[in-house]
Amino acid sequence: MQFFRSHVLVCGGVNCSLQGSRTIRDLLVDAIAEAGLSQEIKVVETGCFGLCEQGPMMVVYPESVHYCRVQPSDIPEIVDAHLKKGRVVSRLLYRGTDPSQEVQTLTETDFYGKQQRVVLRNCGLIDPESIDEYIARGGYEVLGRVLTSLTPQQVIKEVQDSGLRGRGGAGFPTGLKWSFTAQAEAQQKYLICNADEGEPGTFKDRLILEGDPHSVIEGMIIAGYAIGATQGYIYSRGEYGLSIQRLRKGIEHARKVGLLGRNIFDSGFDFDIEVRIGAGAYVCGEETALINSMEGKRGEPRFKPPYPTTAGLWGKPTCVNNVETLANIVPIMERGAQWYRSIGTEKCPGTKVFTLTGNIVNEGLIEVPMGITLREIIYDIGGGIPDGREFKAAQTGGTSGGFLSAAFLDVPMDIESVAEAGSALGSGALLIIDDTHCIVDVVRSCARFFRHESCGQCTPCREGTQRLLEFVDAVAEGRATGADVRLFRRLAQTMEDSSLCALGQTAPFPILTAMRFFPEDFEAHIVHKKCLASDAKTGATA
Amino acid sequence: MSAQSIDWKSEVKEIVERHGGKPEYLLDILHEVQAKVNYLPQEALLEVARELDIPLSKVHGVATFYSMYSIQPRGQFIIRVCESAPCHVMGCDAVIAALESAAGARMGETTSDGLFTLEYTSCIGVCGVAPAIMINDRVYGNLTPESVVEIIAEYRARERGE
């Protein structure tokens, strides 16, 4: 193995790539070669660092110097000043809310201060396409210990004791789901990793898969061992080209070194993984719709019960877990249930990966302990609202989640507390909206989404999503009356009560929460036939 | 390549065989068929049904269910536009208007030269750089009405061999 005096890690996450990080990496490799430093300095493309707003980014190790918004024209200076002479290029350093203050390392940025990286521990630190780098960081050690020294029951107990709850949105206890699948009697059982991340505003699973695919693969093998499955599947969105490519490469590498396939670690346990791809349907994130899609059918949800843990893929017991859930397994098995419980809240242990989008300074990916407040996320980590505007609303949990107003800034971000506040934590999407926006307008976009994504199988959802959109259109255009509002409430109740799956049940939810917490926006449209946002934009007072 | 110039019988047979002739791989098979001409011609769907020995209605049902498939002819470049809430908040409406006028087609339409098809898509998972679009496999983010016009112009120029 060759040793290098310095490593330059260039973020190859999708957001930095869009801003030209591939070109930057290629130019850097060339410039290093030209300077005759190829034997001393290694360039590595990693997964997402998280601070997507500041891309393209790179970190130079061992000194951990973090450069932001790097342009092709900056490369000669980085190579000459930093890599050759050891002088930091200060104009490329991160500057937080105080522009006079330079921040040298990524972990010193205010963006990192309150984060705790468990799931994302390797993201941005290793080359995601190298199994060697994953192993060098301790990867697959836990798997070896689990397979050779623990029984499946012991693994399930540890996960149950950790209190881990599913990170896909519903928050069902993972250990309990595993135990149901383990108890089901069948010759063949399946494990499915749900990577069909369709919730608008959510891209955490994508960045986990692109930044550290092996931690998900290792988590899957442990899960398969615990529940008694020999075959695992990763069902990914068809749109996630890079995730699919990295996963396939990771699986192939793991197979080559004997970490997948027959008799893993001479334990007698066989397990393999196949990647399956979707074709664009939000409803396929619902586990039974996903199973139908994997069987080559329309992705329509099935009636429950029977639950997939009893009768899932091909009618066999099937455990469906979210990407982030599975990425939590290795740290839990490595450091134990008690350690895991020491993070987060009593009912929601552990960390949560959130994606920050909308009107916020630091858009991107973060991982924080469950129970951190919305205010801390927005102002301490997210850098606040740009352009001197005021915070107006946060939509939590993606488009199927609810809207919270400024009165809820101190709500702890865990499943129970957010639900008590009247919204949902969901998959961890956080859309921040400033005071130039009218909630009615944002809700209209949500209603359009549900009308498009209803699978059409059950009437309450198929017809209901159409009527929801008509109602919001009428409000937005100043045509809605009090009678329309009453009718809408009845419709919402009917959809919640009688839709077949969560899509139809939650479609009215964002509208209901918006009406509850932002009555003035609706009143302006319905009663006064005007929009508050146009006043906010021009600075006029109502 | 046009749909008519392809020998679908042998193309589909080859694709289906590569997937072991199993109907569970219908989605993957349709992805591969579509990759040839950017849509799913009726003739190809018939061959898929025959090769997999399943009813055409089932193949048709799947082909029309998922938003990534189209049974209508589409342009050489499919421009998928996200109008989900994060893109909406970051100003996708103005980007869409600029895109429509630069491309010379409305959302849902194909340009008369067959170069572009404009479609809405659900979230493409790059909300950190919203508003975003996808052109075939390539993602473009942090769009403004001006930058989207430039992107269209670049594609046109490349097609003319400039």
User: Are A277 and A237 spatial neighbours (Cβ–Cβ below 8 Å)?
Assistant: yes
User: How close, in Å, is residue B136 to chain A by CA atoms?
Assistant: 10
Minimum distance, in Å, between the CA of residue B78 and any CA atom of chain A:
13
CB spacing of B62 vs A298 below 8 angstroms? yes
For residue B37, give the amino acid letter. Answer: V
Range with top average pLDDT, A91-105, B102-116, B121-135: B102-116
DSSP state string for chain B: --GGGS-HHHHHHHHHHHTTT-GGGHHHHHHHHHHHHSS--HHHHHHHHHHHT--HHHHHHHHHHSTT--SS---SEEEEEE-SHHHHHTTHHHHHHHHHHHHTS-TT-B-TTSSEEEEEES--S-GGG-S-EEETTEEE-S--HHHHHHHHHHHHHHHTT-
User: What Å distances lie between residue B75 and A122, B33, B52, B72, B135, CA to CA?
Assistant: 41, 16, 28, 10, 11
Q: Does B61 touch chain A (CB under 8 A)?
A: yes
β-bridge pairing A41-46 and A6-11: parallel
Backbone angles phi, psi at A441, to 5 degrees: -65, -40
Q: Which neighbouring-strand residues pair with A373? A: A412
The amino acid sitting at A500 is: L
User: Does B85 contact A449 at a Cβ distance shorter than 8 Å?
Assistant: yes
- Radius of gyration over every alpha carbon of chain B, rounded to an integer in angstroms: 17
CA atoms within 13 A on the CB side of B23: 15
Q: What percent of chain B has pLDDT over 70?
A: 99
Window B:123-152, CB contacts with A under 8 Å: 123-130, 134, 137, 139-142
- Nearest by CB to B84, which of A200, A296, A359? A200
Q: Which residues of A touch B45 (CB under 8 A)?
A: none
CB atoms within 10 A of CB A303: 9
pLDDT given for residue A541 in this prediction: 40
CA distance, residue A342 to nearest chain B CA (Å): 31
CB A392 within 8 A of CB A433: yes
**Token pair listed for B74:** 């589409």
Instruction: Encode pLDDT of A287-298 as tens digits.
Output: 999 999 999 999
Q: What tens digit of pLDDT does each residue of B24-59 get?
A: 999 999 999 999 999 999 999 999 999 999 999 999
- Whether A358 sits inside 8 A of B126 (CB atoms) is no
- Give the distance from residue B20's alpha carbon to the nearest chain A alpha carbon, in angstroms: 14
Task: Of A239, A249, A250, A246, give the one whose Cα is nearest residue A196.
Answer: A239
Three-class secondary structure of residue A47 per DSSP: coil
B84 touches chain A (CB under 8 A): yes
Q: Which residue of A has its CA nearest to B60?
A: A298
What gap in Å lies between CA A488 and CA B64, rounded to an integer?
30
Q: Does B62 touch chain A (CB under 8 A)?
A: yes
Output DSSP code: residue A138: T
Test the B interface: residue of A11, A49, A357 with most B CBs within 10 Å: A357
B30 vs A: CB within 8 A: yes
How far, in Å, CA of B50 to CA of B34, rounded? 17
The 10 Å CB-count burial string (b at 16+, else e) for A413-450 is bbbbbbeebbbbbbbbbbbbbbbbbbbbbbbbbbbbbb
Q: Given the DSSP bridges, would you call strands B133-135 and A403-405 parallel, antiparallel or unpaired?
A: unpaired
**Distance, CA of B136 to chain centre:** 6
pLDDT of residue A95: 84
Would you call B130 and A357 a contact, using CB atoms and an 8 Å cutoff? Answer: yes
| Short-list A449, A438, A441, A442, CA closest to A506 | A449
Is B128 in contact with A357 (Cβ distance < 8 A)? yes
Q: Which residue does chain B place closest to A393, by CA atoms? A: B89
The structure tokens 């003739």 sit at: B43
Q: Distance, in angstroms, between B7 CA and closest chain A CA? A: 24
3-state secondary structure of A102: strand
Query: Nearest residue of B to residue A403 by CA position?
Result: B85
pLDDT at B126: 87
Cβ-Cβ contacts under 8 Å, A429 against chain B: 86, 127
Write down the ipTM of this complex.
0.94
φ, ψ of residue A529 in degrees (nearest 5): 55, 40
pLDDT tens across A309-329, in order? 999 999 999 999 999 999 999
**C-alpha angle A118-A50-A238 in degrees, rounded to nearest 5:** 95
Nearest-neighbour CA in chain B from A77: distance (Å): 27
One-letter amino acid for residue A222 of the chain: I
* Residue B15 and residue B47 in contact, taking contact as beta carbons nearer than 8 Å: no
Find, among A383, A357, A381, the residue nearest to B131 by Cα. Answer: A357
Give the C-alpha separation, A378 to A362, whole Å. 9
Nearest CA in chain B to A277: B28
Q: List, run by run, the mean pLDDT of 10-residue segments along chain A (542 residues).
A: 89 86 94 95 91 89 93 96 94 83 86 92 94 96 98 98 96 98 97 95 94 97 98 95 95 98 97 96 96 97 96 98 98 98 97 96 94 97 94 96 97 97 95 96 96 96 98 96 96 97 97 97 94 66 38
